[in-house]
């Protein structure tokens, strides 16, 4: 398994909220061979399990969560001349939408390409700096309304971004859905490649549903698994001129570890100690009242789950072209591997 190729494969899959099951067969085909068991559900959660060789009642269960859903849109209307209106699913940055290329999904696995219309600047009236609301944008596919209806494209059809996976200078990468497929790649890679004889826990890699619409899917598989420990992996803000320094991490300085009222202090300290001991590049970020991740939901499941957050800094978050460093994903994977081979205790 090669980490960069895994990221490319996962990031190109479609999985907007409500459609996380769409690529289930492709996802299972890609990574199931590295795991002992797969559990899926009707909500769209995907759980891949790798069990420790040592089978006894004291083997703890470690859940590593990375949400599989991504931002996107759903069709709300088809005009008589074939233009599609949409509403956002997740926090779309509408500043990036004009002239964006998309894929629209119809019945029987049909999909067509389109572009979000953009008014030429010569014709813009009024305040040119005022952005349209999501509902004001129109997708042009070139098809007539009648043709779209025949393909089963209409109210409720999913709309996903089209964006290439590209390598920039150094180990920088750009592509769609790195939020949160980058962390999914790190979690899958770590669990799939760790020496099974060294595992000191049963590892549940949970690619969860509906994080972008309310942290909902992770709660369900936590109730099913009843883990002893949980690590939520998600993206975080990378340092940039307009981003406050205390709320961000540097792209080239490894994974980020959250210090928060939400996270378990002892468990978090153990993760930091693992990083220091193994000389894994890492950085800490203070997220005092909440992390904005599935950790905010998991820590209150049943009697409470000791939860920590490991994140990957990215730029241009919630657009169709995320920017990150491969080294940060590698650091996150190394950190998770280290955690899987340590005695866990809180």
- Cβ–Cβ < 8 Å for 203, 64: yes
Residue 53: count of CB within 10 angstroms of its CB: 10
CA distance 137 to 6: 33
Pairing assessment for the beta strands 307-314 and 229-237 based on DSSP bridges: parallel
- Among 20, 23, 70, 211, the active-site one is 211
Which of 50, 65, 72, 184 shows the shortest CA–CA distance to 139?
Answer: 72
Taking residue 188's Cβ as centre, other Cβ atoms within 10 Å add up to 29
CA–CA gap between residue 333 and residue 341 (Å, rounded): 13
Question: Measured between alpha carbons, how far is 88 from 83 in angstroms, rounded to an integer?
Answer: 16
Q: What span, in angstroms and rounded, lies between the C-alpha atoms of 264 and 235?
A: 19
CA distances from 14 to 9, 37, 95, 233 (A): 11, 23, 22, 20
169 is catalytic: no
Q: Where are the alpha helices (DSSP H) in 106-237?
A: 145-150, 178-193, 217-225
Backbone CA torsion sign across 79, 84, 90, 95? negative
Residues in the chain, how many? 346
Return the number of other C-beta atoms located less than 10 Å from residue 72's C-beta: 27
H/E stretch holding 251 reads none
Residue 104 near residue 75 (C-beta atoms within 8 A): yes
- Angle, CA 73 vertex, CA 167 and CA 240 arms, to 5°: 40
| Torsion-angle region of 111 (φ positive above 0: left; ψ -120 to 50: alpha; else: beta) | beta
Residues identified as active-site: 211
């Amino acid at each position: 398994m090669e980490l960069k190729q895994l990221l490319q494969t996962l990031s190109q899959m479609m999985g907007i909220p409500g459609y996380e099951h769409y690529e289930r067969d492709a996802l299972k085909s890609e990574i199931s061979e590295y795991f002992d068991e797969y559990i899926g559900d009707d909500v769209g959660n995907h759980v891949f399990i790798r069990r420790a060789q040592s089978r006894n009642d004291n083997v703890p269960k470690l859940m590593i969560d990375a949400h599989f859903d991504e931002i996107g849109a759903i069709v709300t209307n088809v005009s008589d001349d074939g233009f599609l209106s949409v509403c956002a699913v997740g926090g779309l940055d509408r500043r990036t939408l004009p002239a964006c290329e998309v894929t629209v999904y119809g019945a029987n696995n049909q999909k067509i390409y389109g572009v979000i219309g953009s008014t030429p600047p010569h014709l813009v009236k009024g305040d040119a700096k005022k952005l349209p609301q999501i509902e004001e944008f129109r997708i042009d596919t070139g098809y007539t309304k009648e043709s779209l209806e025949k393909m089963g494209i209409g109210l409720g059809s999913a709309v996903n971004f089209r964006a290439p996976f590209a390598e920039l200078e150094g180990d920088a990468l750009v592509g769609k859905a790195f939020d949160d497929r980058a962390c999914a790649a790190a979690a899958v890679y770590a669990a799939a490649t760790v020496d099974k004889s060294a595992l000191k826990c049963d590892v549940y890699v949970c690619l969860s549903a509906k994080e972008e619409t309310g942290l909902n899917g992770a709660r369900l598989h936590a109730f099913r698994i009843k883990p002893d420990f949980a690590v939520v992996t998600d993206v975080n803000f990378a340092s940039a001129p307009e981003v406050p320094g205390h709320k961000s991490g540097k792209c080239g300085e490894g994974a980020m570890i959250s210090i928060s009222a939400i996270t378990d202090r002892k468990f978090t300290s153990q993760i930091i100690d693992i990083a220091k001991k193994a000389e894994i590049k890492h950085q800490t970020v203070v997220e005092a009242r909440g992390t904005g991740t599935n950790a905010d939901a998991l820590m209150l499941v049943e009697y409470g789950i000791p939860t920590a957050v490991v994140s990957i800094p990215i730029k241009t978050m919630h657009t169709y072209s995320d920017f990150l460093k491969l080294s940060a994903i590698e650091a996150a994977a190394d950190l998770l591997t280290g955690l899987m081979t340590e005695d866990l205790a809180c």
